[in-house]
Amino acid sequence: MILGIFRKKSSAQVAKNRLMMTLAYERASTKIENLKELRQELIEVVKKYVKVKDIAIKSNTNQDIETLEVEIILGEGG
Amino acid sequence: MILGIFRKKSSAQVAKNRLMMTLAYERASTKIENLKELRQELIEVVKKYVKVKDIAIKSNTNQDIETLEVEIILGEGG
Protein backbone atom coordinates (compact mmCIF):
# COMPACT_ATOMS: atom_id res chain seq x y z
CA MET A 1 0.00 0.00 0.00
CA ILE A 2 1.28 3.42 -0.93
CA LEU A 3 0.00 4.65 2.45
CA GLY A 4 3.01 2.99 4.01
CA ILE A 5 5.75 4.50 1.91
CA PHE A 6 6.49 7.34 4.29
CA ARG A 7 8.25 6.90 7.56
CA LYS A 8 8.86 9.62 10.09
CA LYS A 9 12.22 10.11 11.67
CA SER A 10 12.85 11.48 15.12
CA SER A 11 11.96 15.06 15.84
CA ALA A 12 15.64 15.91 16.34
CA GLN A 13 16.04 15.82 12.58
CA VAL A 14 13.18 18.18 11.92
CA ALA A 15 13.76 21.88 11.57
CA LYS A 16 11.25 24.32 12.98
CA ASN A 17 8.99 26.53 10.93
CA ARG A 18 8.94 24.29 7.93
CA LEU A 19 6.07 22.66 6.17
CA MET A 20 6.87 19.69 4.00
CA MET A 21 4.58 18.79 1.15
CA THR A 22 5.28 15.61 -0.77
CA LEU A 23 3.70 13.91 -3.75
CA ALA A 24 4.56 10.29 -4.48
CA TYR A 25 3.37 7.86 -7.12
CA GLU A 26 4.42 4.85 -9.10
CA ARG A 27 6.13 5.92 -12.31
CA ALA A 28 5.01 3.05 -14.51
CA SER A 29 1.30 3.32 -13.84
CA THR A 30 0.87 7.03 -13.22
CA LYS A 31 1.71 9.79 -15.62
CA ILE A 32 1.12 13.35 -14.51
CA GLU A 33 1.36 15.46 -17.63
CA ASN A 34 1.59 18.92 -16.17
CA LEU A 35 3.48 18.20 -13.00
CA LYS A 36 5.15 21.60 -12.89
CA GLU A 37 1.84 23.40 -13.15
CA LEU A 38 0.30 21.11 -10.53
CA ARG A 39 3.21 21.78 -8.21
CA GLN A 40 2.91 25.54 -8.72
CA GLU A 41 -0.83 25.51 -8.05
CA LEU A 42 -0.35 23.48 -4.87
CA ILE A 43 2.23 26.00 -3.67
CA GLU A 44 -0.14 28.88 -4.41
CA VAL A 45 -2.81 27.21 -2.28
CA VAL A 46 -0.41 26.70 0.63
CA LYS A 47 0.57 30.38 0.39
CA LYS A 48 -3.03 31.36 1.09
CA TYR A 49 -2.91 29.58 4.45
CA VAL A 50 0.59 30.12 5.80
CA LYS A 51 3.20 32.86 5.52
CA VAL A 52 5.88 31.56 3.15
CA LYS A 53 9.45 32.82 3.39
CA ASP A 54 11.18 30.46 0.98
CA ILE A 55 10.56 27.27 -0.99
CA ALA A 56 12.88 24.44 -1.98
CA ILE A 57 11.80 21.80 -4.48
CA LYS A 58 13.35 18.39 -4.88
CA SER A 59 12.42 15.65 -7.32
CA ASN A 60 13.42 12.10 -6.64
CA THR A 61 13.20 8.78 -8.40
CA ASN A 62 13.62 5.76 -6.19
CA GLN A 63 13.22 2.57 -8.15
CA ASP A 64 9.63 2.68 -9.31
CA ILE A 65 8.53 5.57 -7.14
CA GLU A 66 8.62 9.18 -8.25
CA THR A 67 8.66 11.66 -5.40
CA LEU A 68 8.27 15.40 -5.48
CA GLU A 69 9.21 17.20 -2.28
CA VAL A 70 8.30 20.80 -1.65
CA GLU A 71 9.91 22.24 1.46
CA ILE A 72 8.14 25.41 2.54
CA ILE A 73 10.04 27.62 4.93
CA LEU A 74 7.57 29.61 6.95
CA GLY A 75 7.94 33.16 8.14
CA GLU A 76 7.71 36.79 7.10
CA GLY A 77 9.47 38.29 4.11
CA GLY A 78 8.98 35.74 1.35
CA MET B 1 16.24 18.86 8.36
CA ILE B 2 12.61 18.23 7.64
CA LEU B 3 13.66 17.21 4.11
CA GLY B 4 14.81 13.94 5.57
CA ILE B 5 11.70 12.89 7.41
CA PHE B 6 10.31 10.80 4.57
CA ARG B 7 11.73 7.47 3.58
CA LYS B 8 10.57 5.41 0.68
CA LYS B 9 9.87 1.73 1.04
CA SER B 10 10.29 -0.84 -1.68
CA SER B 11 8.03 -0.70 -4.67
CA ALA B 12 6.48 -4.02 -3.69
CA GLN B 13 4.53 -2.19 -1.02
CA VAL B 14 3.18 0.44 -3.37
CA ALA B 15 -0.16 -0.03 -5.03
CA LYS B 16 -0.67 1.11 -8.58
CA ASN B 17 -2.77 4.03 -9.68
CA ARG B 18 -2.41 5.92 -6.46
CA LEU B 19 -1.07 9.36 -5.78
CA MET B 20 0.04 10.09 -2.25
CA MET B 21 0.06 13.67 -1.01
CA THR B 22 1.50 14.35 2.41
CA LEU B 23 1.90 17.43 4.56
CA ALA B 24 4.21 17.31 7.55
CA TYR B 25 5.22 19.92 10.10
CA GLU B 26 6.36 20.35 13.65
CA ARG B 27 3.37 20.79 15.92
CA ALA B 28 4.97 23.08 18.46
CA SER B 29 6.24 25.70 16.06
CA THR B 30 3.69 25.52 13.27
CA LYS B 31 0.01 26.16 13.60
CA ILE B 32 -2.17 25.83 10.56
CA GLU B 33 -5.49 27.37 11.43
CA ASN B 34 -7.66 26.17 8.61
CA LEU B 35 -6.09 22.82 7.91
CA LYS B 36 -9.32 21.26 6.68
CA GLU B 37 -9.88 24.01 4.17
CA LEU B 38 -6.24 23.85 3.06
CA ARG B 39 -6.55 20.11 2.60
CA GLN B 40 -9.74 20.49 0.59
CA GLU B 41 -8.23 23.13 -1.67
CA LEU B 42 -5.17 20.98 -2.30
CA ILE B 43 -7.42 18.08 -3.28
CA GLU B 44 -9.38 20.30 -5.65
CA VAL B 45 -6.13 21.30 -7.37
CA VAL B 46 -5.05 17.68 -7.77
CA LYS B 47 -8.46 16.86 -9.26
CA LYS B 48 -7.77 19.34 -12.05
CA TYR B 49 -4.70 17.36 -13.13
CA VAL B 50 -5.58 13.71 -12.61
CA LYS B 51 -8.75 11.64 -12.71
CA VAL B 52 -9.70 10.90 -9.11
CA LYS B 53 -11.73 7.82 -8.23
CA ASP B 54 -11.54 7.92 -4.46
CA ILE B 55 -9.74 9.69 -1.64
CA ALA B 56 -8.66 8.51 1.80
CA ILE B 57 -7.42 10.96 4.42
CA LYS B 58 -5.32 10.07 7.43
CA SER B 59 -4.02 12.36 10.16
CA ASN B 60 -1.13 11.30 12.28
CA THR B 61 0.77 12.65 15.25
CA ASN B 62 4.16 11.13 15.82
CA GLN B 63 5.91 12.74 18.76
CA ASP B 64 6.38 16.33 17.59
CA ILE B 65 5.46 15.82 13.98
CA GLU B 66 1.97 16.25 12.64
CA THR B 67 1.35 14.45 9.39
CA LEU B 68 -1.60 14.67 7.06
CA GLU B 69 -1.78 11.97 4.42
CA VAL B 70 -4.11 12.18 1.45
CA GLU B 71 -4.25 9.01 -0.60
CA ILE B 72 -5.72 9.68 -4.02
CA ILE B 73 -6.94 6.65 -5.93
CA LEU B 74 -6.78 7.39 -9.62
CA GLY B 75 -9.19 6.26 -12.27
CA GLU B 76 -12.58 6.89 -13.80
CA GLY B 77 -15.81 7.13 -11.87
CA GLY B 78 -14.95 9.35 -8.88
| CATH for A46 | 3.30.1070.10
In percent, how much of chain B has pLDDT > 70?
Answer: 78
Q: How far is A77 from chain B (nearest CA, A)?
A: 17
**B52-69 residue pLDDT tens:** 999 999 998 877 889 999
Say if B28 falls within a structural domain: yes
Say if A11 falls within a structural domain: no
Contacts of A32 in chain B (CB under 8 A): 19, 49-50
**B11-37 residue pLDDT tens:** 444 467 889 999 999 888 888 889 899
Which residues in chain A (24-53) have CB-CB distances under 8 A to chain B? Answer: 24-26, 28-30, 32-34, 37-38, 41-42, 45-46, 48-50
**A13-69 residue pLDDT tens:** 446 788 999 999 988 888 888 989 999 999 999 999 999 999 999 998 877 889 999
Q: How many domains does the structure of chain B reveal?
A: 1
Cα A8 from Cα B62, distance rounded (Å)? 8
Contacts of B23 in chain A (CB under 8 A): 19-21
Question: Which domain, by its residues, includes A45?
Answer: 16-74
